[in-house]
Amino acid sequence: MPVHEDLRKIMSSFRRDSRPMTSLISGLSLLGSLYADAREVGDAAIRRKHGIRLLAQAATIGAWTFSIFKGTALQQPSVDRDYTDNLMSMLFAEPGKAYECPAWLKRAMELLLIVHLDHELNCSTNVLRCIASAQGDPYSSAAGAAAALYGPLHGGANEAVLKMLRTIGTPDRVPEFVENVKAGKGGRLMGFGHRVYKSYDPRAKVIRGLVHEVLKQSGKDSPLLQVALALEAYGINDEYFIQRKLYPNVDFYSGIAYEAFGLPVEMFTVMFAVPRAIGWMAHFEEHYKDADQKISRPRQLYIGPQERHPAK
C-alpha cells in the first residue's frame, strides 16, 4: 500500500540532520491530516481501515526516516514484496540497483520485528490508550505513543546501550564501569532492569542468539558484542543487580543487532517503533471493543500547603 504522495513530498523536505525518530513522529501525525474521516473512530469499519493503513505505512515512513537521514530518495513499497522484504528493500536498496534480501537476513529481521511487536501496557502503549480513550484518531494516538517511545528510559534505551558500550570500549574496562554505576557515578546500566520483568527478559535471549547468527552469516565481528557479553556476565553475578533483580532487557542486545544490519544508532528506536505500531493498533482496536473503557483520568493526591498566606 503506497503512502500518500503528499506525505512523501512533505517528508522529502525534512532536514537531513533531523533525528529519524522526530521524522517518524511527524510522519505518523501528518498521516492524520490526509484522511479526514480518521476522526470517525466510533465507526468500526472506518477505524479498522485506518488501523490497518497505519500499521502498514509505519514501515514505509520508518524506512523513509532513514532515507532522509542518508539524503536519498524516498521509495514507495512494491506490491511484489511482502512486509519484511519491502522494509529491507526500502532501508537498504542502493539507488538504481535491484535489491535481493538473503533469506537468513530476512529471517533475522523478522525475529527482531516479532519480539518488538507488542508488550502489554508499557509506557508508549499506555500513552496510546490514553489518547484513544479521549477518542483521538489512530494517527494522533500512534504519534503520541511514538513520542513516548523516543525517551531513553523506554525505546530510546537501545541507542543509549550502544553509546554506553562504546564508552566502555573493551571487556577489561567493564568492572570499573559497573562499580561506578553502583556508586551512583555513571548513571544507570542501560539495557538492564525492567518495570515488570524481575528476571532475564526472554526477548534479550532471542536477540542475543540472533546477533551471533547475523555476525556468523555475514562474516563480521562486533567488538561491542564482546563488551556486552562481559557486561552481562559481570552484572548478573553481582550482588547489587541480583538484590534489585536487574537483568538484561530487550534493549541490551538489540542495538548490536541493528548495527550488524548496517543501521546507525539514530535509527534504532525507529526500528522498535515500526513493528510496535502493530501492537499499538491492536490496543487501539481492543480499547474500542471494550464497553467498560472510559476516558483515562488518573487521580492526583494533593500534598501541598492547605492554606497560603500572601507575602506581607
d(CA 197, CA 88): 31
250 binds ligand COA (CB under 6 A): yes
* Contact residue for ligand COA among 4, 19, 49, 188 (CB under 6 A): 188
Bridge partners (DSSP) listed for residue 248:
192
163 binds ligand COA (CB under 6 A): no
Helical pair 5-12 and 20-34, crossing angle rounded to 10 deg = 150
**CB of 183 vs ligand COA, minimal distance in Å:** 11
Q: Which of 187, 191, 135, 185 is nearest to 161 (CA)?
A: 191
153 binds ligand COA (CB under 6 A): yes
125 binds ligand COA (CB under 6 A): no
Return the residue matching grid coordinates 543487532. 257
Q: Which is nearer to ligand COA, 34 or 123 (CB)?
A: 123
* Contact residue for ligand COA among 137, 159, 251, 259 (CB under 6 A): 251
Torsions phi, psi for 242 (to 5 deg) = -65, -50
Q: Which is nearer to ligand COA, 121 or 153 (CB)?
A: 153
Q: Which is nearer to ligand COA, 31 or 160 (CB)?
A: 160
Count of residues of this chain found to bind ligand COA when the rule CB under 6 A is applied: 16
192 binds ligand COA (CB under 6 A): yes
Question: Contact 268/254 with Cβ under 8 angstroms?
Answer: yes
246 binds ligand COA (CB under 6 A): yes
Q: Which is nearer to ligand COA, 195 or 220 (CB)?
A: 195
101 binds ligand COA (CB under 6 A): no
**CB of 152 vs ligand COA, minimal distance in Å:** 7
The catalytic position among 137, 251, 283, 287 is: 251
**CB of 250 vs ligand COA, minimal distance in Å:** 5
Question: Contact 25/148 with Cβ under 8 angstroms?
Answer: no
- Does 309 qualify as catalytic in the annotation? no
Span of 32-40, 53-61, 188-196, 266-274 interacting with ligand COA by CB under 6 A: 188-196
The catalytic position among 50, 116, 137, 194 is: 194
Q: Which is nearer to ligand COA, 9 or 198 (CB)?
A: 198
d(CA 267, CA 199): 28
d(CA 64, CA 10): 11
Return the residue matching grid coordinates 489512530. 138
- Does 194 qualify as catalytic in the annotation? yes
Return the residue matching grid coordinates 491492536. 282
d(CA 279, CA 282): 5
Task: Please calculate the CA angle 26-31-34 and round it to the nearest 5 degrees.
Answer: 130
Torsions phi, psi for 250 (to 5 deg) = -55, -30
Task: Please calculate the CA angle 303-309-310 and round it to the nearest 5 degrees.
Answer: 125
Residues 216-245 that bind ligand COA (CB under 6 A): 244
Bridge partners (DSSP) listed for residue 240:
none
248 binds ligand COA (CB under 6 A): no
Query: Interface with ligand COA by CB under 6 A: which residues?
Result: 153, 157, 181, 188-195, 244, 246, 249-251
- Would you name the residues annotated as active-site residues? 194, 251
